[in-house]
Structure 1
Amino acid sequence: MTVMPRFATGALALILLVGCAPPSPQSPAPLSASAYRSRDDDAVGGQFQVTLTGLSDIAVSVRSVMLDSPGFDTVDPTVREVALGRGTRIDVPTEFGAARCDVAPEPASVQVSTGSDTTVVVPLMSQNDTLNRIHAEECAAKDLADIVTVTMVPGPLPSGPAEPLPAVLTLDRRDGDEPLRLDEIRGSLLYALNSEAVPVTLASGNTSIDIPVTLTTASCEPHVVADAKKPFVFPAWIAVGDGVPVYTRIPVPVSVQRQLVEYQQRSCVR
């Protein structure tokens, strides 16, 4: 019978203990992150605000912020360079990608690129259930797009620079026969959108309805115009049958964008 030396037995026991030991806990992130949505986020579309708060006595250099959620496609990070010490905070507009409606959006986190060329993963808390609300709205909008399409066609430019630009908003039924009620429309950061005909209903048995609307310039301030990243996002809310209104966005193709830019340039020269 072979006898194992005592020192070898002790070494083997030590190896087994080390191998079974739990991993050392990771250091907590030097930042906290929470999500909320502002009215401006509704106007811009596709984004929400991430509030970053410093938790370390040593200032953390933030370079960019990106959402990491199972319920949304990944998009490019938002570049924001700032140093955050303990108790200091900043709101960072953060974009989200297309919703993945077969999975929940939480738990979620934000990937924060820091000045040390590293990425810190920070758990994302959600004020007023922000992320779940956005996810539910985006998925409802996908379902709505299978039922109705919305188009906006501007008319000819008005003769006077101070006059509104007339346009026609059209609802076209794609599926079903329930009443479709356009409850509300809103303008973008650069263009006000109004209609005395809204709210209006596309009744059962009808396939389309034309709604007269007007557009006016919301701002001629050079810095507002220059900083407007999404000037052509026009929110709308449509209810199917007795359902609650669903948030969607009025598509604005390139040809219509050009008309709106020309109208704004003429309006702001007066």
Structure 2
Amino acid sequence: MLAVVLVVCCGLAAVGFVRLGRGRDVAAAPSSAASSAASVEPALFVDVEKPRYLVAERMVEVIVVNKGASPVRVEQIQLFGRLFKAQPPIAKDTLLQPDERKDLKVGYGRVRCRRQAPTSSEPFVRLRVRASDGNQSRARLALPSPSPTLQRLHDTECGLLALREAVQVRYGPGWTRAGRGYRDARGRLVLRRRASREPIVLTGVGGNVIFTVTAHVDDSPQRPQRDPQRPQRGPQRPQRGLQRPQRVSQRALAILRPGDERLTVPVAVAASRCDAHAVADSKKTFLLPLWLRVGAAEEQYLEVEVTGRGRRLLTDVISDCVAAEQG
């Protein structure tokens, strides 16, 4: 007998403890007449968290622990569930010795929002494994339902899709170098209304490993620019940007009001770190985070890419900062 414990994670996760017999299809679709039923022990549950290194990929991680007395080789893995369309199985060639743990990546498909998500089909992982004697087995291992990690990924993606249906968010083409020693670049964040007729609120801006972002709102000399026919409304206090995805303020930095079609917000992007380690570690150098809320909906996190002239100027900002650091 072989025993395999699966922990599905987006960091760590949860699963069942399943014993696999020779040539059996465990807890899967109806097996052949030659296959016999398998015993399934109580499920074990732990936390579910998507690893940071997979943040830019449509993948989660499955942690497989061999609790049997003999080696087992994982040859294939696939993720199923109602929140995302299934991706094709991924071939593996992963040998697990007794009590050994391996972390296996697995993809998930397009998100199913609103009525697209079927009401059935609880999430599970399907494995194909080979025992040390050469016999193959297939295992269908149920995940917690609902799975906190998959649910969180689903809700985030659906919220982001709804946001993009409501408003287009981009950085405008006009960028300049500014600041002391020209250590930063100035540009404009542009919000343009699409489908929604509700207020669209910019609640925060943020930076990343390299850059700090400051939105110049209301009290600064550079005020948010609305369409000429739309008057400015109510003063608000300026907020300072923070590094990494952390919200600057829970209050509105700027509002695209009902009836307004466009809003621009001046921003300054400064290089706050340019040491070799930070530059090498930066995975999203030109993706700048911000937070938006449409009407009474929940606040959504969004990363907006700086392109064109803005990207070239920010590249120059980094180069000048590195040169200054090196003396």
2:123 to 98, 101, 107: 107
CA contact (8 A) 2:183 2:320 kept: no
Q: Alpha carbons of 1:112 and 1:208: their partners in 2 closer, same or farther (altered >3 Å)? A: farther
Report deviation, 1:181. 0.8
Superposed CA deviations along residues 132-154 of structure 1, whole A, max 9, x for unmatched, are 12112212211221211111136
Query: Corresponding residue for 2:167?
Result: 148
Amino acid at match of 1:183: T
In the alignment, which of 170, 174, 180 is matched to residue 190 of structure 2? 170
Report the CA distance between 1:265 and its aligned residue.
1.8
- For 1:175, the aligned partner's letter is A
Which amino acid in structure 2 is aligned with residue 214 of structure 1?
A
Counterpart Cα distance in 2 of 1:228 and 1:191: 10
The 5 A counterparts of 1:1-270 are 21=33, 23-25=35-37, 35-37=48-50, 45-46=56-57, 50=61, 52=63, 54-56=65-67, 71-72=84-85, 74=87, 86=99, 98-101=110-113, 102-103=116-117, 107-109=123-125, 123=141, 125=143, 129-153=148-172, 155-158=175-178, 160=180, 163-195=183-215, 196=238, 199-253=253-307, 255-270=309-324
Tell me the equivalent position of 2:25: none
Q: CA deviation at 1:63?
A: 11
Deviation at 1:230, TM superposition (A): 3.4
What is the Cα-based RMSD across aligned positions, in Å?
4.7
8 Å Cα contact 1:35/1:50 also seen in 2: no
The verdict on how the C-alpha distance between 1:95 and 1:250 changes in structure 2, with shifts beyond 3 A counting, is: farther
* CA separation of 1:75 and 1:156: change in aligned 2, threshold 3 A: farther
Please say if residues 109 and 123 of structure 1, whose CA atoms lie closer than 8 Å, have aligned partners that are also in contact.
yes
1:187 maps to amino acid: G
Q: TM-score, normalised by structure 1?
A: 0.64
> For residue 173 of structure 1, what is the amino acid of its counterpart?
R
Task: State the TM-score, normalized to the length of structure 2.
Answer: 0.55
Q: Secondary structure at the match of 2:177?
A: coil
Deviates more, 1:259-268 or 1:120-129: 120-129
1:225 aligned partner, one-letter code: V
Structure exhibiting the larger radius of gyration computed from Cα positions: 1
Give the unaligned 5+ runs of structure 1. Answer: 1-18
How far has the Cα of 1:180 moved from its partner? 0.7
Q: Counterparts of 2:190 and 2:142 in 1: how far apart (Å)?
A: 39
Displacement of 1:236 in angstroms is 2.6
Report percent identity of matched pairs. Answer: 21
> 1:206 offset after TM fit, Å?
1.2
Superposition deviation, residue 257 in structure 1: 3.2
SS of 1:86's partner is coil
Partner SS state of residue 155, structure 2:
helix
CA separation in 2, counterparts of 1:64 and 1:216? 46
* Per-residue Cα deviation, 1:122-167 (whole angstroms, up to 9, x for no partner): 8585797121121122122112212111111362123655733222
Q: More helix by proportion, 1 or 2? A: 1
* Residues in 1 aligned to 2:139 and 2:308: alpha-carbon distance in whole angstroms: 38
Could you say if the C-alpha distance between residues 257 and 82 of structure 1 is closer, same or farther in structure 2, counting changes exceeding 3 Å? farther
Q: How has the CA–CA distance of structure 1 residues 95 and 166 changed in structure 2, closer, same or farther, with 3 Å as cutoff? A: farther
Equivalent position SS for 1:269: helix
Cα distance change on mapping 1:189 and 1:200 into 2, 3 Å: same
Number of aligned positions between the proteins: 244
SS in 2 for 1:169: strand
- SS state of the match for residue 242, structure 1? coil
Which amino acid is the alignment partner of residue 253 of structure 2?
A: P
